[in-house]
Chains A and B, each alone.
Chain A
Amino acid sequence: MQHLDEGAIHAWLDGQLPANKAAEVTGHASECAECAAMVAEARGLVVASTRILTALDNVPAGVTPVPSEGLSVPIVQRRWYDRTDIRVAAALLFVAGTSLVVVRGGRESTSSRAMMTIGDKAEATAPVALDSVSLQSSGAEISQLNAPAIERRGLESRTRANALNKSAAASAPAVMQAEALAAPAVTTGTAFAKKSIGSVEGRVTDQDSGKGLHGATVDILGTPVGATTDTAGRFKIENVPAGAQRVAVRRIGYVAQSIPLVVESGITATAQVALAASPTSLDEIVVTSMAAKVDVVAASLHVLRTDNPAGTKRTVYQVSPGVEVTLTESPADTGVTRDFVSRGMRANEAASQRSAGAEKEKDIRTIPGGVAGVAGGRISQAVAVADTASVPLNTISWADHGRRYTLSGRLTTKDLEVLKARLMAMRR
């Protein structure tokens, strides 16, 4: 079996693979050290992203959101030629110019044909302008001049679609319909914008062996586009803004690299990147805790909510007002998982040993937000909460009767251990 790709690993962890495929993945992950490391890393990412998103729930009502990239509509800046009087004057000038060309056309058929060629090109690039503004039937300059207007019309079209949607007291299909109605106008309206987009493809290899590296993250810096390499180390990124860009390539166990690249519109640029293996080293890990003072022995535990993210069962308990702990339960499914858990449980010990001058272990990093995380390369090592004092979260993990448990909260690990005993007793 080929190496696992990241998408399949996440689908497996999410419990979304069919049984036969899941069995294949389980088997491969237990035999292949490289994929086992990726599985461990992916598991850390699942837990970490869940915790980061949980932080979004601390939102007071009545706050106007900051416009986000995906949410906001691009604001078409009003330019000097957007003024109605200037546009009317331009239109009149154009009519006069066109009339002159037509009059001369009888006498100068050659020049007329040349103008028609230009007009045809304009028609090919901006069909919406031709449909809605008959005056723009020829003349490349005029069509380009009106490009912002075309974009605006696209937005207006979408607004009309929304109005239609509202007035019809629309149901969901109506929403879809409104989107569909708007889509062609928007697509055509941004035809000019699309001209400045290219793509990047290439291969990421191991500098020593020359073999393709799968699972490497390739990003175009400063843009939201990127890709992950396939099993042969190949990648392709579409919709890259034209111009000078930097391609950043990262993979666990290798030194990250970024290279400059010029992307031309409508053209696929090629990038070959050879990554050097990283001499693994351990950053200092600081275990801190700013726990609330709570009598965890006497506190009554209330279930605030339960849900099932990423194929796990998650229960949030209130220990005392303002103090919550989260218990995550998942099947201890593979040898990889057990390995991960047991290492995770030893993480605090490892940290203290290191602080006592013990030999450095390899390639450990913390996952933000006080989450049990992983590090990678070829090593799966977890760290139970080592974060700054500003995020006083602690996490403990353990396995019991074939299940894996993680308990986290703003309490000392000692208090968490007490709660662990109480919770496990309640479950029995």
Chain B
Amino acid sequence: MSDVDRLFRTYNTALVRYLTRRLGDRDWAEEVAQETFLRALRQESLTNERAWLFAVATNLVRDEARKASRQRQHLALLAEEERENVVEPQETTLERAQEAALARKAVDALAERDRLALLMREEGLDYLEIAEALELSAGSVGTTLSRARRRLVESYEALQKEREQREKNAAS
């Protein structure tokens, strides 16, 4: 097995999940992950491969986001058409979709650095790797994560209350 095969097999699942959570689109996440591995292929050696892969994937997302800003209007129209054609799989219940929508809103409400640190930690990166990928000091990762977790939960909780209130109002 070549080295890139090993990298792919070792990190692809975690990287795609990280990117999916970050982007909200699995196709896009897989594209970015593949591009990340292609770039890894061009490297002679990687000292801390996991931190490197997550850092490069994060930077690629930023680049993509800039491009996307120019194409956003066009994509919004396409997405609107696409939504009309999408057939949800049976197991994607309304509750799950609502849960995912709330989670997405709560995650988007986080500051960028907090969000990335939390998503990386969830994929098993240790504090040193997160610090390297996000150019933070290792000592500040704990504080960043504690803030991110608290805000995520509080934000989710607030959104959930809002939704419940809306449902109550609609029912009455």
Contacts and interface: CB of A to CB of B under 8 A. Distances in A.
Does chain A bind chain B?
yes
Interface of A: 5-11, 14, 16, 42, 45-46, 48-50, 52-53, 55-73, 75, 155, 158-159, 162, 165, 169-172, 175-176, 179, 217, 224-226, 228, 305, 307-310, 321-322, 367-369, 388, 390-392
Main secondary structure of the interface of B (DSSP, over half): helix
Pairs A-B, 7 closest by C-beta atoms: A70-B112, A7-B143, A11-B142, A7-B142, A64-B79, A65-B24, A322-B91
**Of residues A67, A71, A224, A369, which shows the largest number of chain B Cβ atoms within 10 Å of its Cβ?**
A71
Interface of B: 13-14, 17, 20-21, 23-28, 39, 42-43, 52, 55-56, 59-63, 65-69, 72, 75-76, 78-79, 82, 86, 88-92, 95-100, 102-104, 106-112, 115, 118-119, 121-124, 126-127, 140-153, 156-157, 160, 164
A168 B122 CA distance: 33
A57 B107 CA distance: 13
Nearest to B66: A73
A42 B62 CA distance: 31
A358 to B, nearest CB: 26
Contacts of B76: 64
Given A59-B25, A158-B66, A165-B63, A322 B149 contact: no
A48 B99 CA distance: 13
**Of residues A59, A64, A155, A158, which shows the largest number of chain B Cβ atoms within 10 Å of its Cβ?**
A64
B110 A58 contact: no
Contacts, number: 207
A6 B151 CA distance: 13
A171 B126 CA distance: 24
A53 B119 contact: yes
A71 B95 contact: no
Given A52-B152, A70-B111, A71-B112, 7 more contacts: A52-B107, A55-B100, A60-B26, A61-B27, A65-B24, A172-B59, A392-B95
13 contacts: A8-B142, A9-B146, A11-B141, A49-B118, A50-B122, A56-B24, A56-B100, A62-B25, A64-B25, A175-B63, A226-B147, A228-B146, A388-B164
A271 to B, nearest CB: 18
B21 A175 contact: no
A228 B122 contact: no
Given A16-B142, A172-B55, A55 B99 contact: yes
A293 to B, nearest CB: 14
